[in-house]
Amino acid sequence: MHTNPNTSIDIATDSAWMRHALTLAAQAAAAGEVPVGAVVVKDGQLLGQGYNAPIALHDPSAHAEIQALRQAAQALGNYRLEGCTLYVTLEPCTMCSGALLAARLARVVYGAPEPKTGAAGSVHNVFALPQLNAHTQVQGGVLAQECSALLQAFFQQRRQQQRQQAQPLRQDALRTPPARFADFPLSAPSHYVADLPPLAGLRLHYQYLQAAPEQANATPPFTSPATWLLLHGPQGWCWQMQDLLLALHAQGQSVLTVDLPGWGMSDKPKKPATHQPAWHGQVLQALCQHLGLGEQHALVLAADDALWLAALAPSLPNLQALCWLPAGLEQAGQQGQLKAAQAAPFPDAGHRAGPKTAAKWSTPPLAQSPLPLLDLHARAQPPQALAMQAVEYFAALQLPYLPPT
């Protein structure tokens, strides 16, 4: 492998840019992509950045390096990036190494080695081929441990999710066939958990987007962004929350959306007696604790049904505010499919024990809740506008944040 012999290169500078690439890699992980991030820098200025997105873009070439190269080339108005350095958290593959050479980069700095596909020395070394004219210098191992740790955590979580998806179905529950959801894709990665005590082996579906480090704010209402818990109504599931989930995340918020047992992509207990507000609240509380959102972490509960806000709010001790959303939210590009989407999780009457029982819940009026309430249910606005109003409203309240002890 070529190693840059120039000792005048500031190691601290390399580390700082690699940390920037790591924040991008974390965004890839949050989107369900292999966590690799890359930046292109020239004379201390950031020209381009990117993270892995082949799944989201349906593009096998959408690696972090390619994304960053494209941005940098546009910024310079030149396909040759002479004098530039690319920082990437993982050793480049053969495709990316070829593109890096074609761009005439001065340096390539990577973090973790890639023993299976690495083309900068691990499997083979494209940069050392004497037949090529380009002379790009390569430096590996910068923040290698941190880059490797992010990758290891990602694949460990993926293996855990695969085990959870293979969770055996309880005899007293039903599971909607995946084909029923084929026409209603979700915008954020799906996760499953079955080992929470209240679930007793039932499989629970949820999505969780954490605020990126650079999105965290030190202004009210929270020292770090609040976590928004988005809940479907009695006739819905998390499909309806996708655009709002992304809009809140774009506002710097951490967002969790859940299909309660009996709804959506979660398992559906057959017995109506199971579907009581207290039990569903216990499931939500256990999931929050599972994700590290314990009593010291502030939550805002948002739902499109006042009954559910009133019924489930008492089960969350760290809940600090409520938001009543408009009913009938739909995903962009799928307007007019609300009824079909709402019916998708319920192939037959046997799957509807949850909605049937929830219609009979008896709870105190929402107006009796002592928590601050933002009422948006009558506002027919795009999710982006709703998210902006919600974040601004709760910021103005200056709700107390409970720092970890």
User: How far does CA 26 lie from the centroid of its chain?
Assistant: 9
Tens of pLDDT along the chain (405 residues)?
Answer: 444 444 445 888 999 999 999 999 998 988 889 999 999 999 999 999 999 999 888 899 999 999 999 999 999 999 999 999 999 999 999 999 999 999 999 999 999 999 999 999 999 999 999 888 778 999 999 999 999 999 998 888 888 767 656 667 878 899 999 899 999 989 888 999 999 999 999 999 999 998 765 444 333 333 345 789 999 988 899 999 999 999 998 888 889 999 999 999 999 999 999 999 999 999 999 999 898 886 667 789 999 888 889 988 888 888 888 999 987 776 655 667 888 999 999 999 989 999 999 888 887 788 788 888 989 988 778 888 999 998 888 877 765 543 333
Angle at 190 between CA 236 and CA 147, to 5 degrees: 150
Q: Rounded to 5 degrees, what are φ and ψ at 392?
A: -65, -40
Report the C-alpha gap between 397 and 395 in whole angstroms: 5
Find the Cα–Cα–Cα–Cα dihedral 194, 198, 200, 203, rounded to 10°. -30
Cα separation values, 295 from 27, 28, 400, 404, Å:
26, 28, 13, 9
Within 13 Å, how many C-alpha atoms sit on residue 81's CB side?
Answer: 31
What is the C-alpha separation between 183 and 98, in angstroms, rounded?
Answer: 38
> pLDDT value at position 165?
61
Residue 49 tokens read as 């950045």
pLDDT of residue 365: 81
In this predicted structure, what is the pLDDT of residue 334? 60
| 392 a catalytic residue | no
**pLDDT reported for residue 394:** 81
pLDDT of residue 14: 94
Determine the Cα–Cα distance for residues 398 and 403; give it in Å rounded to an integer.
15
Burial category of 305 from C-beta neighbours within 10 Å (exposed 0-12, middle 13-18, buried 19 and up): buried
Cβ atoms of 95 and 63 within 8 Å: the answer is yes
The tokens describing 286, both together, are: 């256990």
pLDDT for residue 163: 66
Of 33, 65, 91, 114, which is the active-site residue? 65
